[in-house]
């Protein structure tokens, strides 16, 4: 059976089903991350000190315990990957498959770069014995950035599928393939959006 409205817009919504589907998914993601952000606000308002005592030492600012330069670098990496993602879609819209490969490859590479930087950050914390169980600040830091990291991994897997096996569709159904890249892009930009709020609220405040 053919899935209806994968390319043509559905008459009642005015958009194709894939796009409605991914936006509904993103709406549920807003609530997932929103719930955890609420938990963060909740913990923080209730805390007498924030980040508080970690490893027998009292910290007054998150930036004293977290690595702001590395997180800034990661912010720029993710913003850059959003640009290459949207450029990979624009390349397909201009029928330039060679450029698509280039930009999609860059998006995947930047996704991995983000994870590597994140791994360094986590490694630094772990080596000092700063684990989620240490205090509330570290718990919410690891939960929020960890869940975000899992989303980055998910995005990389999807993008790698469209870089290699999934790219065969360009020959059989280029319009649908271009749509798929736009849809994958919507998810990737959402992951960037979450980080845009995570970075200042967790690292800088």
Partner 1 sequence: MSEHSVEEIKKHVRVYMLVFGSLAVLTAVTVVVGYLELPFVPALIVALLIATVKAGLVAAYFMHLVSEEQVIRWLVWLSLALLLVMFLLFSVYYVDQIGFLIFGF
Q: Closest CB to partner 1 among 66 and 134?
A: 66
Interface with partner 1, residue 82, by CB under 8 A: yes
Q: What DSSP character marks residue 3?
A: P
Classified as helix, coil or strand, 57 is: strand
Q: Closest CB to partner 1 among 169 and 186?
A: 186
- Cα(12)–Cα(98) distance, rounded to whole angstroms? 36
Contacts of 105 (CB under 8 A, 6+ apart): 163
Interface with partner 1, residue 185, by CB under 8 A: yes
| 19-23 contact pairs (CB < 8 A, 24+) | 19/179, 19/182, 19/183, 19/186, 21/183, 22/183, 22/186, 22/187, 23/186
Cα separations in angstroms, 197 against 12, 18, 43: 34, 27, 17
- Give the number of residues in contact with partner 1, rule: CB under 8 A: 52
Tell me the closest approach of the beta carbon of residue 131 to partner 1, in angstroms.
25
Contact pick of 47, 58, 93, 153 for partner 1 (by CB under 8 A): 93
- Cα(78)–Cα(110) distance, rounded to whole angstroms? 7
Query: Which string of x and - marks every residue 8-47 that binds partner 1 (by CB under 8 A)?
Result: -x---xxx---xx--xx-xx--xx--xx-xx--xx--xx-
Interface with partner 1, residue 6, by CB under 8 A: no
Tell me the closest approach of the beta carbon of residue 184 to partner 1, in angstroms.
12
Residues making contact with partner 1 (CB under 8 A): 9, 13-15, 19-20, 23-24, 26-27, 30-31, 34-35, 37-38, 41-42, 45-46, 61, 63, 68, 72, 75-76, 79-80, 82-83, 85-87, 90, 93-95, 182, 185-186, 189-190, 192-193, 196-197, 199-201, 203-205
């Amino acid at each position: 059976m053919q899935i209806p409205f994968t390319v043509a817009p559905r008459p009642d919504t005015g958009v194709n089903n894939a796009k409605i589907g991914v936006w509904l998914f993103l709406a549920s993601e807003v609530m997932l991350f929103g719930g955890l952000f609420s938990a963060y606000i909740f913990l923080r308002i209730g805390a007498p000190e924030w980040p508080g005592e970690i490893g027998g030492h009292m910290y007054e600012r998150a930036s004293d315990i977290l690595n702001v330069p590395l997180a800034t670098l990661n912010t720029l990496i993710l913003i850059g990957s959003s640009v290459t993602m949207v450029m990979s879609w624009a390349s397909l819209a201009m029928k330039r498959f060679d450029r698509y490969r280039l930009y999609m490859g860059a998006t995947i590479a930047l996704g991995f770069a983000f994870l590597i930087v994140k791994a360094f950050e986590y490694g630094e914390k772990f080596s000092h014995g700063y684990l989620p169980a240490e205090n509330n600040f570290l718990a919410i830091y690891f939960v929020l950035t960890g869940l975000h990291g899992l989303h980055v991994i998910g995005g990389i897997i999807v993008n790698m599928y469209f870089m290699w096996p999934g790219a065969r569709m360009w020959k059989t159904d280029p319009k649908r393939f271009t749509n798929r890249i736009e849809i994958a892009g919507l998810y990737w930009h959402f992951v960037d959006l979450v980080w845009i709020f995570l970075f200042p609220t967790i690292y800088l405040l």
